[in-house]
């Protein structure tokens, strides 16, 4: 009986650890970078969804800032013209898996398929350079990080996620306030605008950008942010973690 309880506690702890955006066992993970420059990366997950993509692109064009879109392979396949629009507008795109399933407890074959298929679709649409991977739901334990390391892929998570809090995500003003108050140099902001249910987020984007600009921030793509942070310590390798954490 005691053992069962211990095992359950162990599983719960592992699950919690797997959900922390700045924790990863293997490979390289970026949730923010250390930089003295006042730069910030805006990232949008999921889609591309017709209608929503055009809407966010026009907001970004109006504000004249670049962003990074982590796209779902299945949606890329269904709407290649939207990816084209994102790229033509000068934004960066990343891989957010093919079918947006939780990546925890999945086989290497499944993971390889999810990553490779989406990368191939993006390459076909003309994407060059590194394609960063963002795990669906931020889950990334065991096989996924191992695969990413073996294949020299970088996982990109986030350091500011206002929609994590229901009382924030349901109000445009709160979304703006939380994001602006919690952002600092080198941060990666995560937002969702590709769903009707995230209309509040879409409405908050212009004001988030305006207020951060007013505080002296400059918006960059994730690639540019990583370049700026390269000399610093935000790229975390397995060796940075205490060994006891992974052995017990």
Residue 8, CB-side half-sphere exposure with 13 Å CA sphere: 5
Work out whether 45 is an interface residue with Zn ion (CB under 5 A): yes
As a whole number of angstroms, the distance between CA 129 and CA 120 comes to 13
74-78 long-range contacts, CB within 8 A, separation 24+: 74/98, 74/99, 74/100, 75/46, 75/47, 75/48, 75/49, 76/48, 76/118, 76/121, 76/122, 76/125, 77/121
Q: Which is nearer to Zn ion, 134 or 153 (CB)?
A: 134
Instruction: Name the catalytic one among 46, 91, 119, 192.
Output: 192
Instruction: Name the catalytic one among 45, 46, 91, 96.
Output: 45
- Exposure b/e, 130-162, CB count within 10 A at least 16 = b: ebbbbbbebbbbbbbbebbbeeebbbbbbbbbb
Work out whether 46 is an interface residue with Zn ion (CB under 5 A): yes
45 noted as active-site residue: yes
# binding residues, Zn ion (CB under 5 A): 3
Chain positions 229 to 248 lying near Zn ion, rule: CB under 5 A, are none
As a whole number of angstroms, the distance between CA 176 and CA 163 comes to 11
Chain positions 122 to 141 lying near Zn ion, rule: CB under 5 A, are 136
Task: Please report how close the Cβ of residue 76 comes to Zn ion at its closest, in angstroms.
Answer: 13
Task: Please report how close the Cβ of residue 239 comes to Zn ion at its closest, in angstroms.
Answer: 29
192 noted as active-site residue: yes
Q: Which is nearer to Zn ion, 101 or 184 (CB)?
A: 101
Q: Which of 141, 104, 101, 137 is nearest to 117 (CA)?
A: 101
Task: Please report how close the Cβ of residue 244 comes to Zn ion at its closest, in angstroms.
Answer: 32
Task: Please report how close the Cβ of residue 126 comes to Zn ion at its closest, in angstroms.
Answer: 23
Q: Which residues pair with 42 in a beta bridge?
A: 189
> Which single residue brings its beta carbon nearest to Zn ion?
45
Q: Which is nearer to Zn ion, 73 or 136 (CB)?
A: 136
Among 6-14, 37-45, 101-109, 228-236, the segment contacting Zn ion (CB under 5 A):
37-45
Q: Which is nearer to Zn ion, 46 or 114 (CB)?
A: 46
Residue 143, CB-side half-sphere exposure with 13 Å CA sphere: 14
Extract the tokens encoding 140: 């990334």
Active site members: 45, 192
Instruction: Return residues touching Zn ion (CB under 5 A).
Output: 45-46, 136
């Amino acid at each position: 009986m005691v053992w069962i309880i211990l095992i359950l506690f162990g599983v719960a702890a592992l699950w919690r650890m797997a959900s922390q955006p700045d924790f990863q066992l293997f490979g390289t993970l970026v949730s923010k970078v250390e930089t003295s420059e006042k730069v910030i990366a805006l990232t949008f997950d999921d889609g591309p969804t017709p209608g929503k993509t055009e809407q966010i692109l026009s907001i970004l064009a109006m504000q004249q800032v670049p962003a990074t879109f982590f796209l779902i392979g299945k949606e890329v396949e269904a709407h290649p013209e939207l990816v084209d629009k994102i790229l033509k507008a000068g934004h960066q795109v990343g891989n957010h898996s093919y079918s947006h399933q939780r990546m925890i407890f999945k086989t290497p074959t499944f993971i390889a398929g999810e990553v490779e298929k989406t990368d191939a679709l993006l390459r076909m649409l003309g994407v060059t350079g590194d394609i960063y991977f963002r795990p669906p739901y931020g889950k990334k334990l065991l096989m996924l990080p191992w695969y990413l390391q073996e294949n020299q892929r970088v996982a990109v998570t986030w350091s500011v996620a206002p929609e994590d809090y229901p009382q924030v995500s349901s109000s445009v003003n709160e979304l703006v306030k939380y994001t602006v108050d919690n952002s600092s140099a080198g941060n990666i902001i995560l937002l969702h605008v590709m769903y009707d249910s995230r209309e509040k987020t879409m409405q908050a984007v212009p004001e988030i950008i305006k207020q951060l600009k007013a505080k002296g921030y400059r918006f960059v793509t994730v690639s540019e942010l990583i370049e700026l942070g390269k000399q610093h310590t935000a790229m975390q390798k397995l060796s940075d973690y205490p060994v006891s954490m992974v052995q017990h």
